[in-house]
Structure 1
Amino acid sequence: MNTEFASLLHRSGCLPLYRAEQVREMDRRAIEERGIPGCELMSRAGAALFAVLRECWPEARRVGVLCGAGNNGGDGWVVARLAQAAGLEVTVVSLLEPERLQGEAARAARDAVGAGVRWQPFTGGLPEADVRVDALLGTGLARPVAGPWAEAIGLLNVSGRPVIAVDVPSGVDADTGAIRGAAVRAEVTVSFIGRKFGLYTGAGSECGGERRFDDLGVPSEVSAGLVPHGWLAVPGLVTRWLPRRHRNAHKGDFGHVLVVGGQPGMAGAARLASAAALRTGAGLVSLATHPVHAAIAAAERPELMARGVADAEALAPLLARAGVIALGPGLGQGDWGRPLFEAGLDSGLPLVVDADGLNLLAGAPRRCDRWVLTPHPGEAARLLDRPVAEVQADRHAAVRDLAVRYGGVAVLKGAGTLVSDGETVAVVGRGNPGMGSGGMGDLLTGVIAALRAQGLTATEAALLGAWVHAEAGDRAAAEGGERGLLASDLLPWLRRLVNP
């Protein structure tokens, strides 16, 4: 393992994620060093995908398979042969004539055609099907998709029929999750041998749909010496990192979070962060907010110690009693917020910095190893002085760059939230579009601060906090739907999730 964080993730049962090149190396080792024939691996891949297809769509009678070149297309031909043998009506649409295929893919196509599978060249249309298999492009995507390939992808996406993708949806960069020109939006993706990082963040997490994995019976030893490109967080982190509390514990054992924010007209953000810190288990939570908001905050949440602070001098006594600072929700960047921001940075305490705290930091960059930074892509773009599109095109690189440039731990929010210490990157494979509403980031700030206050390290608090926050969003959405999901809807779920 290349860092202490990576070792922690490995010991905690997190799942390794790889780049496409690394998985190809694992495939080579399986064939050349473990003696598993390439045709056998292709047969296993096709069988694994067909089994998932039957599981997900047991009533399907017509299967349409779109095949391209290379092993991805070969897997598709195997699926077609198996579907034919199962008595289904199968049609292969191939973007490359079967006789032009090479290696194992050519053999798979010959076997399928020999078994009676019908095929036709792609001429701008797709035959009727109950479910379609995307076997167009695999992990070796070298340039943006264009021409007939892009046309076929577009037809798949508007066909109104479910799509199951082989290994990675065509057009998705397996390393970054970015869309290369055009990409299939699959209901299910079955990935093989090694999990691809790009399926779990950015557009890849959307295009992949439900992600399944099959190691095809390849021994895990084929990954020896390959440093994972990232790690996928697992639910077991909660029980590993949040042990049962001792019966004789008291509030002082669980830390004191100080939330600093809430300029005039922006009271809600700091109050949400404070509520999240309370529901995540901090022993004490104080709120330093503008005097105009203090009374209503205290009345709304009696457990919260709300104090009106007019300036940095008034903040000093609160800093002296706090253990962790959540700095930035609703803070503003003006004459009230800026001095409080500087006082928080000068306190020497662990920090979770969000919202206006990040905007102030972007205006006056500095390094600190005591903080967790929690930007969304727009804030990350300002911190890194690059376009948002560039951040989203390679979220892995962006989150690492944030931690390297600013120190501490960076959390890049969005689809497939990422956490990095500057070397190792972890992925939170939870969350949903309903969480794209005001106040969600403020909750995350409070969650991470509360976990930090309870004794977790910065990396542990950041990753577990992001996972709990995203899972709470999924539970709340399952209960009432994604549209209209409010940040406050997550609060009851936060409490349940930190009490497994």
Structure 2
Amino acid sequence: MSLGEKANNVAFSSMLLSVASMRKADELTISYGAPGIELMEQAGRGVAEKIMQIFPTHTKVLVVCGPGNNGGDGFIAARILLENSYNVMVALLGVADDLKGDAAEAAERWAEPMFSVGEINLEEFDVVIDALFGAGLNRPLDGEALDIVERINAAGKVIVSVDIPSGISGDTGAISGEAVRATHTVTFAAYKPGHFLYPGAAYVGELSVVDIGISPQTIEQVHEGLFANGPGFWQEALPQLEYGSHKYTRGHALVLSGGITATGAARLAARGALRIGAGLVTIAAPPVSVPIHASQLTAIMLREMASVDDLNGIIADKRFNAVVLGPALGVGNGTQELVAAVVKAGRPIVLDADALTSFAGSLDTLARLTEKTDTVVTPHEGEFFRLFNNENEILKGFSKIERAKFAANYLKATVVLKGADTIIAAPDGRVCINTNGTPLLATAGTGDVLAGMIGGLLAQGMSSFEAASAAVWLHAEAARNFGPGLIAEDVPEMLPTVLHKWHVS
């Protein structure tokens, strides 16, 4: 099951909670009068109910409990499963006398024997519940903890992890050494960033969230601007056709083309802009490239652009209301000048590929431009580090979310940091983690299509953060709908199917 299917498998809030925010939500809920042990009861019950949905009674279940609250959730799940005629054994990492607080109370409510993790034979069980460590773990597993995780992974059993697979950071998805490879993960109140960030996301399995009594108002109160990217986040902002709409009310996107041997990328971007709903799309191309484009284009229009002066003349027409620069445009001062011209005209702008590489070593020059207009930049990791080369000491040790936020603040632009777990960061601090990434997009030209799709949504009046988030998700969904054999040209042609599914008229 893909991350997109995981995220859309249940009705969920787009809000993600960091480990610190989740801790605050727990504390606030307890301060409002809900005892911590009752939150733990609800969490453990949610885990038990997941087992009961999948497996019949008398299934043999091993619950491996850690020394903290994650282990407490496991004790509750074990008791409820036993009460419902499952064959349950509990193994504890550590010593029962060392348990504290709600975890100690949960262990007392388990009236059956408990064993040490070194005593159990995993081959005897059908299902293993991983209740070792939750999302707050921030150190590598070692010793007996590492040994039991390696044994769990090697046993080949169905594994249900509590909160997040043990060994994965809930904030970054990082794994230091080893982590449980879960079949299912049950988390509480809200999803965590680590559920969707790689490498940890590959260990999560089928993901579900359980309501444990933390109110939506509390979640909103502690929320720090982290979102899961999916239709629930941006669908209401998608442009809709109305009676009386015509091509000019749907926006006019302009895509700049490179030279004679580099025209395809601009056509891919233009096609993406057109299929995402822009009313008109024009490619502006050097004279030598015009005949090649003219032989390939139908619905997309064409203008000759021999110089920056020509570009200034084109965008003097205010109906051009979004511009895409970068796909195979060429690297150098000439591209910098084109970017500056579009910024001076005050148009929303998407900067991709060569438009970013042209500013490698001139980051501050780029920042002085991007802060002046509504800008989306779309680097992959290599382009990001070339662009921010002078900031590498600052960025050393930053998570992917932190790097994207740093770049968005530095450039005063929306940053799409591409990859399997694409991050979209806004200059106001909001961050969206994509949830449906697919390796099908690992083929030449798909990034050009994405740049065009963002430009097409900007042309229709979407804000840059929502436009980038929607385009990223729809881009991946189009690829997933097509399936194996996908090439870049297929992505725009799948957009009508995807848009129809999400009721975009």
Give the TM-score category using the shorter length.
0.7 to 0.9
Equivalent position of 1:353 in the other structure: 351
- Deviation of 1:276 (Å): 0.6
Do 2:443 and 2:487's aligned partners in 1 also have CA atoms closer than 8 Å? yes
Do 1:46 and 1:78's aligned partners in 2 also have CA atoms closer than 8 Å? yes
1:162/1:264 CA distance change after superposition, 3 Å:
farther
Equivalent position of 2:189 in the other structure: 193
Structure 1, 364-373 or 308-317: larger mean CA deviation: 308-317
Structure 1, 281-290 or 70-79: larger mean CA deviation: 281-290
Tell me the SS of whatever aligns to 2:91: strand
Equivalent position of 2:403 in the other structure: 398
Structure 1 gaps, min length 5: 1-12
Structure 1, 348-357 or 226-235: larger mean CA deviation: 226-235
Supply the distance in 1 between the matched residues of 2:29 and 2:345 (Cα, whole angstroms). 54
Tell me the SS of whatever aligns to 1:361: coil
Match of 2:451 among 423, 445, 456: 445
Equivalent position of 1:494 in the other structure: 495
1:417/1:457 CA distance change after superposition, 3 Å:
same
1:389/1:56 CA distance change after superposition, 3 Å:
farther
- Deviation of 1:48 (Å): 0.3
Match of 2:379 among 366, 375, 386: 375
The answer to whether the aligner puts 1:241 opposite 2:205 as a matched pair is no
RMSD: 3.0
1:219/1:344 CA distance change after superposition, 3 Å:
closer
The 5-angstrom pairing of residues 68-83 of structure 1 reads 68-83=66-81
The 5-angstrom pairing of residues 306-385 of structure 1 reads 306-307=302-303, 309-321=305-317, 322-334=320-332, 337=335, 340-365=338-363, 366-367=366-367, 368-369=370-371, 370=373, 371-385=375-389
Equivalent position of 1:435 in the other structure: 441
**Paired residues, number:** 480
Could you give the per-residue CA deviations for residues 243-290 of structure 1, whole angstroms, max 9, x where no partner exists? 531222221111111112344443332221111111001111112345
Match of 1:162 among 158, 162, 165: 158
Do 1:377 and 1:392's aligned partners in 2 also have CA atoms closer than 8 Å? no
- Deviation of 1:407 (Å): 1.5
Letter of the structure 1 residue corresponding to residue 412 of structure 2: G
Tell me the SS of whatever aligns to 2:171: coil
Structure 1, 385-394 or 363-372: larger mean CA deviation: 385-394
Supply the distance in 2 between the matched residues of 1:291 and 1:55 (Cα, whole angstroms). 65
Structure 2 gaps, min length 5: 1-11
Equivalent position of 1:97 in the other structure: 95
Supply the distance in 1 between the matched residues of 2:273 and 2:302 (Cα, whole angstroms). 14
The 5-angstrom pairing of residues 142-181 of structure 1 reads 142-181=138-177
Could you give the per-residue CA deviations for residues 185-210 of structure 1, whole angstroms, max 9, x where no partner exists? 32322111343233233334333233
Structure 1, 182-191 or 121-130: larger mean CA deviation: 121-130
> What is the TM-score when the length of structure 1 is the normalising length?
0.86
Supply the distance in 1 between the matched residues of 2:472 and 2:432 (Cα, whole angstroms). 10
The answer to whether the aligner puts 1:305 opposite 2:288 as a matched pair is no
Match of 1:407 among 400, 403, 412: 412
The answer to whether the aligner puts 1:474 opposite 2:480 as a matched pair is yes
1:289/1:181 CA distance change after superposition, 3 Å:
farther
Letter of the structure 2 residue corresponding to residue 115 of structure 1: E
Supply the distance in 2 between the matched residues of 1:102 and 1:179 (Cα, whole angstroms). 27
Do 2:234 and 2:466's aligned partners in 1 also have CA atoms closer than 8 Å? no
Identity of aligned residues (%): 35
The answer to whether the aligner puts 1:20 opposite 2:19 as a matched pair is yes
Structure 1, 305-314 or 60-69: larger mean CA deviation: 305-314
Could you give the per-residue CA deviations for residues 20-70 of structure 1, whole angstroms, max 9, x where no partner exists? 122122212222322x22222222111101212232455992323222110
- Deviation of 1:390 (Å): 6.0
Supply the distance in 2 between the matched residues of 1:160 and 1:393 (Cα, whole angstroms). 35
Letter of the structure 2 residue corresponding to residue 193 of structure 1: A
Supply the distance in 2 between the matched residues of 1:132 and 1:111 (Cα, whole angstroms). 20
Do 2:231 and 2:470's aligned partners in 1 also have CA atoms closer than 8 Å? no
Structure 1, 269-278 or 256-265: larger mean CA deviation: 256-265
Could you give the per-residue CA deviations for residues 414-459 of structure 1, whole angstroms, max 9, x where no partner exists? 2332222222222332222322332222121111100100111222
- Deviation of 1:239 (Å): 4.5
Do 2:272 and 2:453's aligned partners in 1 also have CA atoms closer than 8 Å? yes
Letter of the structure 1 residue corresponding to residue 262 of structure 2: M
- Deviation of 1:169 (Å): 1.6
- Deviation of 1:133 (Å): 1.6
Do 1:178 and 1:392's aligned partners in 2 also have CA atoms closer than 8 Å? no
1:472/1:391 CA distance change after superposition, 3 Å:
farther
Letter of the structure 2 residue corresponding to residue 137 of structure 1: F
Supply the distance in 2 between the matched residues of 1:235 and 1:123 (Cα, whole angstroms). 47
Do 1:285 and 1:304's aligned partners in 2 also have CA atoms closer than 8 Å? yes
Tell me the SS of whatever aligns to 2:76: helix
> What is the TM-score when the length of structure 2 is the normalising length?
0.85
Structure 1, 445-454 or 83-92: larger mean CA deviation: 83-92
Structure 1, 101-110 or 436-445: larger mean CA deviation: 101-110
The 5-angstrom pairing of residues 26-175 of structure 1 reads 26-34=25-33, 36-57=34-55, 61-112=59-110, 114-115=111-112, 119-122=115-118, 126-175=122-171
